[in-house]
Chains A and B, each alone.
Chain A
Amino acid sequence: MAKARYERVYPYLYFFPALFFAAIFVLFPALQTVYASFFYLRVNVPSPQNYMFVGFENYRILFSDQRFYNSIMNSLIYTLSSVFGIFLLSLITALVANESFRGRTIYRACILIPWAVANVVASQQWKYLYQPGFGLVNWLLYWLGLVSDPNTYNLLTHPTAAMLGLIITNVWKSAPFVALILLGGLQSIPDDFYEAAKVDGAGPWRRFRSLTLPLLVPYINIGLLFAGLVAGTVIDIVYVITQGGPGNATEVMPLYLYRVYFWSWDFGVAGAFSTFMVVFSILTMILLIRSLVKYLLKA
């Protein structure tokens, strides 16, 4: 029997508002950005060349910029290292939260505290932790014998140490959410599986390696995708803690893109940069998903 008109329209009423806002605030600006990338568009220079079609010239300018490649390298280091650190910390956190012990409820509630703190606030706090003299990190390094004078050593002035400081901040901030995803995965594994494995003589490590990890792969997949996306689009943590310094040693792609937009006001090259970033991120995600799905099917 043919559906009444209102029956056909009814489902669309539910997602039309979201679709409307997504089109206005996401799709339209995205298409406009790609469009702008093919034009000369210097907002703060009243030039007759403005709005002139230049083809792929903006892309040529971008790809001949050494600072652009520096930002890609920094982003890759930051993202891959963060994802690795987040995976380790979130897995350990989730495994502990999955055990039965006194205070487990409080432990589970506390997991989310770093996640709940606003990024800018957390970044400022970590910046103070890294400062010489009154920063706790310096005193910890001194206690470990890695630093001779905690009052003068400033790790944010050393390129490698500064990048490590940013990664640690991001891992601390993002691991809780991934830990919750993994905790959900752990709780979905039936206890019978572990009982059967114990009966077959499997020890704790064997049970973890052969049972827990493979069954957790779909959740790890989702968690790390999320972690990778968050790390790949970071701007606030870097902006607050190092501003991309020392020099450009920690300037990641989103921060450089922000500067091309709102310091250089070159919307043409910035459009090319944005377009590149979207394509780069999508391709990276596709590669990551495909390799993880392959592993899953093998497992």
Chain B
Amino acid sequence: MAEKVSRRKYLWAVGGVVVVAVVAGAGYYAYEATKPKGPITIHQTIHAVDPNEQFGKMTEKWNAAHPNVQLVQYKGSTTGGAVADYHRAQVEMAQAKSPELDIFNLDVIWGAEFGENGWAIQLDDKFPESERADFIPPMIDAWTWKGHIYAVPWMTDIGGLWYRKDILDDEGIKVPAEGWEWVEFFGIVQDLKKKYPDMDGLAIDNARSEQLLCNWQEFLASNGADFFDENGLIRINDSVAVEALQTMVDMVQKYKICHAATLTGDLDIARALFVDQGKSLFHRNWNYVWGTSLSATSKVKGKIWVGTLPHHPGHNSAHCNGGWSWSISPGSKNPEETWEVVKFLTSKETMKAMMIGGGFTQARLSLVNDPDVAKVVPIFPAYVDLYKTGTIRPKIVQYMAVSDIEQPYIHAAVSGTKSPKDALDGFAADLSKFLGVGISKA
């Protein structure tokens, strides 16, 4: 027979629900109380990695000088596959016009997407042409969409051929200013590997990720190939592109100069091999390698430099442009104060302090000739040289979707499970279907 419920038990149950609700509410208010006080809080996203804590120091400097406008960061990983989550989180905030995030930290490949969808405020009047002239041109180009500018460049990335200067000097080898041809480079690495058998030839991240496509962009552009022709038709599977991919495949499968985990490890494994272990002769990576080479864990302090990537015969080298910028959310409740923060972070003084402190390479050209910067970052002019032969990934609104379609094909080719021709034919067909654009017959 069912137990009879007493009124007392009933009241205890109701009381229990009320207590849980009160405790949950109190917990929420306690959490709110831990947030920085002040009439205005500006929220921004930022990389989880902060070399020599320079960004943290700049934030402290702003907060100390502006007690009524406090800066708070949400940190996110931008390495390997995590960059997609970083993108996703910001798109969700942008699409919802959320007031919880004021400043986005965005990759160059997202410029068309954010511009087209109105997910960033136009900065034409705040960031005029005269100001833009002092910033790295490819980044300004990446963030200009249909005649409007949507972000201010902050940290710049350019792909380069990092090398062991000490070893190459001992061997009397100099990286030419115009770069070697790819096959010539493969031969040089193979010869060096015989003399240094405990070293890997080229530490390069070819795992299935956006990084793979950055590498691929450099092979593609250094053979004069491209995604689209002058009529806007797809030409990614023409003979020139197939030849470029074949070279990339040969690097891994035929000449075998890459480190063993090239197809499955991530970018930091390759970097650690070159910097922290000192076990690779060459390394393909971005600017931040210099800063890490000066850290306590580095075995290559003062022993590395960056040079021009190789190219195909009859063409120039190509260096993939990357980099991150600040844009203002259309949902920001305090756009003017937010702009003041962006101005501070991208001012010459702040960017100079960040570079001198060992932070990321900043995107201002005028810092190249600054003597204080040159003392600490003597490699900066070398980066600027690489920008002269910079190449950008296609500026497409749905670039992330295109990247997702492209990655498995390129990875299948470099893994040896698909021929370059089959891989690019497959990619071209899927790209054509996705974008609704025809494939060039040329």
Contact = CB atoms under 8 A, between A and B. Distances in A.
A131 B264 CA distance: 8
**What size tier do the contact residues of chain A reach?**
35 or more
Interface string A72-91: 00000000000000000000
B415 A245 contact: yes
B208 interface: yes
Contact of A46 (B7, B14, B85, B117): B117
Question: What does DSSP make chain A's interface, helix, strand, loop or mixed?
Answer: loop
Nearest to A152: B260
A10 B208 contact: no
Interface residues of B, number: 42
Interface string B241-270: 000000000000000100011011100000
A17 B397 contact: no
Interface in A34-57: 42-46
Contacts of B238: none
Contacts of B409: 247
B91 A245 contact: no
Given A17-B17, A247-B412, A265-B91, A154 B264 contact: yes
Contact of B411 (A13, A16, A246, A265): A246
A132 B264 CA distance: 10
A262 B13 contact: no
A4 B10 CA distance: 11
A239 to B, nearest CB: 7
B398 A247 contact: no
A234 B400 CA distance: 23
A151 interface: yes
B146 interface: no
B404 A159 contact: no
Contacts of A262: 84-85, 88
B113 interface: yes
B437 to A, nearest CB: 14
Interface of B: 4-5, 7, 9-10, 13-14, 17, 20, 81, 84-85, 88, 91, 95, 113, 116-118, 207-209, 256, 260-261, 263-265, 397-398, 400-401, 403-404, 408-409, 411-412, 415-418
Interface of A: 4, 6-7, 9-10, 13-14, 16-17, 42-46, 127, 130-133, 151-152, 154, 156-157, 159, 239, 242-249, 251, 259, 262-266
Given A7-B4, A246-B412, A264-B404, 11 more contacts: A7-B5, A10-B10, A13-B17, A46-B118, A242-B264, A245-B208, A245-B263, A245-B408, A245-B412, A246-B263, A259-B404
5 contacts: A14-B13, A152-B256, A157-B416, A245-B415, A246-B417
